[in-house]
């Protein structure tokens, strides 16, 4: 059986650079440099999370919040606790 992690993300588009900024109440705060136009911020988020988590982009999917700031991202093939451990390494 494949493990699936669901990660709560709060995205701030048009930032100076793409980075993980905080973890508040179980929600990871991510700033992305891309604007929220034509899905560019979502693409930047998926690219960034792929690098942080060490998984292919194809294993990531925005399940909820495609057009909002709060998103639920599904990571196929990664345990929830492992996803959190990997993301926490990128916190300031």
* CATH classification of the domain holding 19: 3.30.1200.10
What is the pLDDT tens value at each position of the chain, 92 positions in all? 689 999 999 999 999 999 999 999 999 999 999 999 999 999 999 999 999 999 999 999 999 999 999 999 999 999 999 999 999 999 99
Q: pTM to 2 decimals? A: 0.96
Q: Is 89 helix (H, G, I), strand (E, B) or coil?
A: coil
In a domain, 85, yes or no: no
Quote the CA–CA distance of 45 and 11 in Å, as a whole number.
8
Quote the CA–CA distance of 77 and 92 in Å, as a whole number.
26
Contact 23, 41 (CB under 8 A): no
Containing domain of residue 12, as a range?
Answer: 4-80
In a domain, 87, yes or no: no
Question: Which residues have C-beta within 8 Å of that of residue 69, sequence separation ≥ 6?
Answer: 10, 11, 12
Q: How many domains is the chain partitioned into structurally? A: 1
In a domain, 91, yes or no: no
Q: Which of 36, 70, 30, 34 is nearest to 53 (CA)?
A: 30
């Amino acid at each position: 059986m494949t493990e699936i992690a669901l990660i709560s993300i709060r995205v701030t588009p048009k930032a100076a650079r793409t980075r993980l900024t905080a973890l508040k109440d179980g929600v990871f705060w991510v700033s992305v440099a891309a604007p929220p136009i034509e899905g560019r911020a979502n693409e930047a988020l998926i690219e960034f999370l792929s690098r942080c988590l060490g998984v292919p982009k194809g294993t990531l999917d925005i399940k909820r919040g495609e057009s909002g700031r709060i998103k639920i991202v599904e990571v196929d093939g990664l345990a929830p606790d492992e996803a959190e451990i990997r993301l926490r390494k990128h916190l300031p």
